[in-house]
Structure 1
Amino acid sequence: MSSQNPASSPWDRWASLGQAERDAAYNNNAAVADSPALIEARNAASAIWRNAHPQGLDVAYGHGERTAFDLYPAADPSAPCLVFIHGGYWQKNSRENFAAYAEGLARSGWSVAMPSHTLAPEASLTQIAAEIREALDWLASSGPANGISGPLVLSGWSAGAQLAALHLDHPAVTAGLAISGVYELAPLRDTFLNQALRLTDDEIATLSPLRRPVCLKPMAIAYGCDELPALVHDSLRLHQLREQASAPGALIALPGADHFTVLDQFRTLDGVLVRAAKEVLALARKGKAAA
């Protein structure tokens, strides 16, 4: 898969697009016809999982109303931990709606930690990024007291993938798994999304993973083959940049998966994303052993 060229993106012809086309280029809910039913099913499954695992819920890592974790520690505190950052274009959703995606790795003996963050427009993207770094700081210092002391694999979906890629360089993070992300922020300023985000030139320059120096820690990049072209383009481009820098990590294209069904691969023991998390951790351990 490393030989793939980045797919064409609406960004390539952005200046010629009207407002409706620009908005549609990043509107995942409109692009997936049954998205309301998929979201309802996700939320219902997550409520069941969360209610069945109540011991580590709503653990504060900061002072904000939403700066908290749901923790699902493994029986072995030294087990690896997936840190999963939810999506929602930085302006909707929360950790509670994604609890079901802890299932596959939890059944594999991993811990899972799911943070929320303050949402735009209450928080800027700069503040949101700072909160995720604070969450990782907290997990590094307070995780052992909460049953989590193993290596951290940082993951995220959609907007959460941007935050995961951004924080791959955190000292507590061993490896990463970015799923269906937006890694170039500039086009968003010309869409409906910017009403809440109010992106600045500095945020676009410093918070777009495609504009930042490549972190050489292992990171897999996954996307559904039925995703919007702009998201596929960003995934391919980020993998290409990392490959050019000799940064390890697979590019994972999931046939038949759209922006919402792609995460189903976290729900079973043999799910593609479950395997990807294990494989990227193995890469990190192999690299550490060789160093």
Structure 2
Amino acid sequence: MDLSDAYANGPYIAQAEDYPPRWNTAAAAFRAEMAAEDRLKAGLTYGDGPREALDLILPEGAPQGLVVFVHGGYWMAFGRETWSHLAAGAVARGWAVALPSYDLCPRVRISDITRQIAAAVTRAAGEVDGPIRLAGHSAGGHLVARMLAPAMLPEEVAARIAHVMPISPLSDLRPLMQTGMNERLQLDADEAWAESPVAMAPPQVPVTVWVGAAERPVFLEQARWLGEAWSCPVVVDDEKHHFDVIDGLAEPDAAITAHLLG
């Protein structure tokens, strides 16, 4: 069975093509504002590759802790510069926010990206004291969930994780083997299962799965599967689809921001 259409988001979202330019414009404006206030540490490296870098955005005053936001794009698209504005909500509430880039498939495998994000979280943790909250969207939701695997993070970093929010996550990667994307993802049965959060033991850290009510059915299923596997709450955000479910992170008073930081 070919599941390519089931996992396609753009064809089922009105004016989908407008979203990336809108994200880029908002991100650039916020980055410029933070840079002008000397609150942007851009391009902090966590590895040797050109994409192994993160941006750290600081609040006014001492940070209450650290949020790490990991972007999506099916592990094949985007970088940290497209999402800077999503730090605005947490920054306004006194948190520092790190946004990493990572290498993309097919140059690397998903398991390689998982290890890169672990390195990025560790690097960011060295910059900011206090509790750490992880959020990620779509493929990024998969990646932040994977940070809760045993020994994925150094013990001193793992001990600081206070909340993880996979947003519209991919929690079982096996169905992706039946999509056209797998020509680039190159998943085989062993890696697909090893990289699936649903295959992990339920973590001890609080987890909230967040998903839009208007998402494609497979994303609602993926969210439910993770909630069931980890016995954690699944919040279904009214009327939100896969592209706008993250918008609230840019607002300090949005429900998604309050839940992430609460």
TM-score (norm 1): 0.82
Which consecutive unaligned segments of at least 5 residues does structure 1 have?
1-16, 244-248, 280-291
Alignment counterpart, residue 44 of structure 1, candidates 16, 22, 25: 25
2 CA distance for matches of 1:107 and 1:220? Answer: 22
Off by >6 Å, runs of 4+ in structure 1: none
1 CA distance for matches of 2:71 and 2:198? Answer: 20
CA contact (8 A) 2:201 2:230 kept: no
1:264 Cα offset (Å): 1.1
Alignment counterpart, residue 108 of structure 2, candidates 123, 133, 140: 123
Paired amino acid for 1:60:
T
Partner residue in 1 for 2:4: 23
Structure 1 or 2: more helix by fraction: 1
Partner residue in 2 for 1:73: 58
Does residue 157 (structure 1) correspond to residue 137 (structure 2)? The answer is: yes
Paired amino acid for 2:230:
R
Provide, for residues 90-127 of structure 1, a one-character-per-residue CA deviation record: whole Å limited to 9, x for no partner.
01001110111111111111111101110111111111
RMSD over aligned Cα, in angstroms?
A: 1.4
CA contact (8 A) 1:154 1:168 kept: no
State which structure, 1 or 2, has the greater radius of gyration over its C-alpha atoms.
Answer: 1
1:234 Cα offset (Å): 1.1
1:78 Cα offset (Å): 4.4
Partner residue in 1 for 2:259: 276
Partner residue in 1 for 2:176: 188
Find the residue that maps to 1:129 and give its secondary structure. helix
Q: Percent identity?
A: 28
Partner residue in 1 for 2:233: 250
Does residue 167 (structure 1) correspond to residue 147 (structure 2)? The answer is: yes
CA contact (8 A) 2:63 2:94 kept: no
Find the residue that maps to 1:57 and give its secondary structure. strand
1 CA distance for matches of 2:199 and 2:107? Answer: 25
2 CA distance for matches of 1:165 and 1:102? Answer: 19
1 CA distance for matches of 2:132 and 2:15? Answer: 34
The 5-angstrom pairing of residues 192-203 of structure 1 reads: 192-203=180-191
The 5-angstrom pairing of residues 164-243 of structure 1 reads: 164-169=144-149, 170=153, 171=158, 172-243=160-231
Partner residue in 2 for 1:267: 250
Paired amino acid for 1:211:
A
The 5-angstrom pairing of residues 83-98 of structure 1 reads: 83-98=68-83
Find the residue that maps to 1:82 and give its secondary structure. strand
* Aligned residue pairs, count: 250
Provide, for residues 259-281 of structure 1, a one-character-per-residue CA deviation record: whole Å limited to 9, x for no partner.
011111112121111111122xx
2 CA distance for matches of 1:60 and 1:159? Answer: 21
Provide, for residues 68-104 of structure 1, a one-character-per-residue CA deviation record: whole Å limited to 9, x for no partner.
0110022344412110000000010011101111111
Partner residue in 2 for 1:9: none
User: Does 70-79 or 155-164 show the bigger shift?
Assistant: 70-79
TM-score (norm 2): 0.91
1:67 Cα offset (Å): 0.6
